[in-house]
Amino acid sequence: MAKTDEVKSAPPEELDLLLPPEVTGLRLLWWRVKNAEELRWVRVAALRVLFGVIMIVLWEAVSGRLIDHRTISSPSLLVASFFEIADPANPDGSLWVHFFYTVENTFWGYILGALAGILFGFLLAEIEVVALVIEPFIMAFNGVPRIAYAPLFIAWFGIERQPKIILVMTIVFFLTFVSTFAGIRGVSRDLINVSRVLGGSKLAILRKIVIPSASPWIFNGLKISIPFGMVGAIVGEYIIADKGLGYLLQRYNNEYYTTGLILIIFLLMFLVIMVNQVLNWAEGRALRWRPTSRMGQETVIPG
Amino acid sequence: MTASLSIRQVGKRFLSRGTIVHAMSDVNLDVAEGEFVTIVGPSGCGKSTLLNILAGLFPPSSGQVHFRGERTSGLNPEIGYVTQQDNLLPWRTLRKNVLLPLEFRGVSVSNGVAERVQALIDKVGLSGFENHYPHELSGGMRQRVNIIRTLICDPRVILMDEPFGPLDAQTRLTLQNQLLELWREERKTIVFITHDLAEAITLADKVVVMTGRPGTIKSVTPVTIPRPRDVYHIHDSQAYREIYDKLWEELRDEVAKVM
Ligand SMILES: Nc1ncnc2c1ncn2[C@@H]1O[C@H](COP(=O)(O)OP(=O)(O)OP(=O)(O)O)[C@@H](O)[C@H]1O
Ligand SMILES: [Mg+2]
CA of B78 to the centre of ligand 2 (A): 22
Nearest ligand for residue B40 CA: 1
CA distance, residue A293 to nearest chain B CA (Å): 13
Residue B255 makes CB contacts below 8 A (sequence gap 6+) with B42, B212
Tell me the percentage of chain B whose pLDDT exceeds 70.
99
Q: What is the per-residue pLDDT across B119-131, written as a single tens digit (0 to 9) for each?
A: 989 988 899 999 9
Find the closest chain A residue to B86 by CA distance.
Answer: A191
Mean pLDDT computed over B79-101 = 92
In this prediction, residue B131 carries a pLDDT of 93
A196 to chain B, any CB pair closer than 8 A? The answer is: yes
- Cβ(B47) – ligand 1 distance below 6 Å: yes
Q: What angle do CA B53, B59, B63 make, to 5 degrees?
A: 90
Query: Minimal Cα–Cα distance from B133 to chain A, Å?
Result: 7
Q: Over range B198-224, report the average pLDDT.
A: 93
Contact A24, A34 (CB under 8 A): no
**Does residue A190 sit at the B interface (CB-CB below 8 Å)?**
yes
The model's confidence at residue B111, banded by pLDDT at 50, 70 and 90, is: confident
What confidence tier does B16 reach under pLDDT thresholds 50, 70, 90? Answer: confident
Q: Is A186 on the interface with B (CB under 8 A)?
A: no
Nearest-by-CA chain A residue for B55: A197
pLDDT at A244: 87
Dihedrals φ, ψ of B206, to 5°?
A: -145, 145
The predicted pLDDT at position A150 comes to 80
What pLDDT, on a 0 to 100 scale, did the predictor assign at position A9? 56
List all residues of chain B from 111 to 140 with a beta carbon under 8 Å from chain A: 133, 135-136, 138
Do β-strands B70-71 and B62-67 pair in parallel, antiparallel, or remain unpaired?
antiparallel
Protein residue whose Cα sits closest to atom 24 of ligand 1: B43
Rg (CA), chain B: 18
CB contact under 8 A, B101 and A198: yes
Q: Cα–Cα distances in Å, from B255 out to B46, B189, B251? A: 14, 28, 6
Which residue in the set A188, A196, A198 is minimally distant from B100, CB to CB? A198
- Whole-number pLDDT of residue A22: 74
In this structure, which amino acid lies at residue A14? E
pTM of the model: 0.75
Is B144's Cβ below 8 Å from some Cβ in A? no
Q: Which atom of ligand 1 has the smallest separation from the CA of B49?
A: 18
pLDDT for the residue A302: 45
**Which pLDDT score is estimated for A13?**
65
Residues β-bridged to residue B221: B207
| Mean pLDDT, rounded, for B146-164 | 92
In percent, the amount of chain B with pLDDT more than 90 equals 64
Give, using CA atoms, the residue closest to atom 22 of ligand 1: B48
Q: What is the pLDDT of residues B37-87, one digit of tens each?
A: 999 999 989 999 999 999 999 999 999 999 998 898 889 889 999 988 889
Output the pLDDT for position A296: 38
Whole-number Å distance, alpha carbon B200 to ligand 1 midpoint, is: 20
Confidence (pLDDT) at B1: 56
Inter-chain residue contact B83 with A190, CB threshold 8 Å: yes
* Contact indicator for A179, A121 with CB cutoff of 8 Å: yes
Residue B165 in contact with ligand 1 by CB distance below 6 A:
no
- Compare all CA atoms of chain B with the CA of A196 and give the residue at the minimum distance: B75
Q: Whose CA is nearest to atom 6 of ligand 1?
A: B14
What confidence score (pLDDT) does residue A2 get?
41
What is the CA(B48)–ligand 1 centre distance, in A? Answer: 7
Of ligand 1's listed atoms, the one at least distance from the Cα of B210 is 21
Which of B77, B91, B135 is nearest residue A199 as measured by Cβ atoms?
B77
Q: Most B CBs within 10 Å: which of A198, A202, A207, as the mutation test of the B interface?
A: A198
> How high is the ipTM of this complex?
0.85
Instruction: Note the pLDDT of residue A160.
Output: 84
Cβ atoms within 10 Å of B128's Cβ, excluding its own: 10
Low-confidence ranges of chain A (pLDDT < 50): 1-7, 293-303
Q: DSSP for chain B, please give it.
A: --EEEEEEEEEEEEEETTEEEEEEEEEEEEEETT-EEEEE--TTSSHHHHHHHHHTSS--SEEEEEETTEE--S--TTEEEE-SS----TTS-HHHHHHHHHHHTT----HHHHHHHHHHHHHTT-TT-TT--GGGS-HHHHHHHHHHHHHTT--SEEEEESTTTTS-HHHHHHHHHHHHHHHHHH--EEEEE-S-HHHHHHH-SEEEEEPSSSB-EEEEEE----SS--TTTGGGSHHHHHHHHHHHHHHHHHHHHH-
Q: Is B45 in the pocket of ligand 1 (CB under 6 A)?
A: yes
pLDDT of A151 reads: 82
Which protein residue has the closest C-alpha to ligand 1 atom 29?
B44
Q: Inform me whether the C-beta atom of residue A137 falls under 8 Å from chain B C-beta atoms.
A: no
pLDDT score of A11: 63
**Does the beta carbon of B49 sit less than 6 angstroms from any atom of ligand 1?**
yes
pLDDT number for residue B33:
92
A287 contacts B100? CB cut-off 8 A = no
